Structure 1
Amino acid sequence: MLRATLIGTQTLIFFLLNLVLPIGILPVLSYPTTVKPIPQDWSASDLVEQGRAFYTKGQFNQAASTWEQAAQAYESQGDRLHQAMALSYLSLAYQKLQQWFDAEDAIAFSLKLLETGSDLRDTPDYQHIQAQALNTLGSLELALGQPDTALEAWQLATEIYQQLKDDIGITGTLINQAQAMEALGLHRRTCKTLLQALNLDNNCDLS
């Protein structure tokens, strides 16, 4: 009976993960032969948005280059908070490029900047950026085969999103937690966390 229940739970987990996660098909990356230069008068926030556009299109090299420029622009302005945000995005681009050391350096510097921004800790802007950085850290740790560390990062991110009453952030980080739990072999917790993320009946006792 226990084995049958476990198999039923794993089947439900498989179904839920396929429901909430994109199918793992690598995007076709198309890079233009000539890249239009970014205007020199663009603001740091313009660079962040352009980086997002590149990232969404699968143009991760361009995204990394643009977010690096954004981080430098924020640094020149003395804006450590948004510099940390840009570095968090930069780490995501490096992860897509499988440049793991660069990804680690970027997110480590991002988190260090957030630690020094203690005077802004109570602001929603700080909390959102901190949650984003923790989300990025979790993604990196899972990719590097450290699901336990990834889970800790995503749990902290979920707590912040709960304080902010950010339903989208809560759902996303719960789904991320479930991925880490599944990698750790915590099938029942994975199932319950996915059901919580989807606001479904929290019953994983299948047989």
Structure 2
Amino acid sequence: MTGTPRRDRYHHGDLRTALVDTGFDLLAESGLAEFSVARVARRLGVSTAAPYRHFPDRDHLLAAVATRAATELAAEVERAVDAAGSDPVDRFAASGGAYVRFAATRGAGFAVIFAVDLRDLRDEALSAAGRHLMDRLLDLAREAIGGDTERALWLLEQQVALAHGYVALLSDGFFARPHHTIDHLAVQAERAARTLIRGLEP
């Protein structure tokens, strides 16, 4: 969002949506540690007191942003899975690639959606969105290995660690070479998922 928006744009309840939108943008640019209500308000061109009409504190605003992130990530996973075809292994691998693309682009992955700072809030919308996302990923893992829940949980845990690790290392500047694009790392995450599944085969 560029420039300084007119303050009267946010009357009649529109400010809440604008706060979440702008919070998401700020998160992508600066990361979780730099996220604050005051910075979001300044970006919108409203007073630093205005957001508190909709969110009592930083964590509640962040929870709303995290809920949006979980919802959007789930949608991205579905798009990638649908495009991958009918093979269960390809579908599961595609979910890892979708995570890398989304989290690297939007700046909001599992570290935001399941942020330690937000656990004590017990925010119902965030909890529901997080459960929906993880249940879908677990379903994909079960399908990929034939339905064994215990092994599916192990597989999902490994994929989350791999995919999130790629995003974290990219954010930290570890992947500095030109060919280490987001798409390249997403493909690497997909290949890693297939390797994990092969390791679980009898």
TM-score, L = length of structure 1: 0.34
TM-score, L = length of structure 2: 0.35
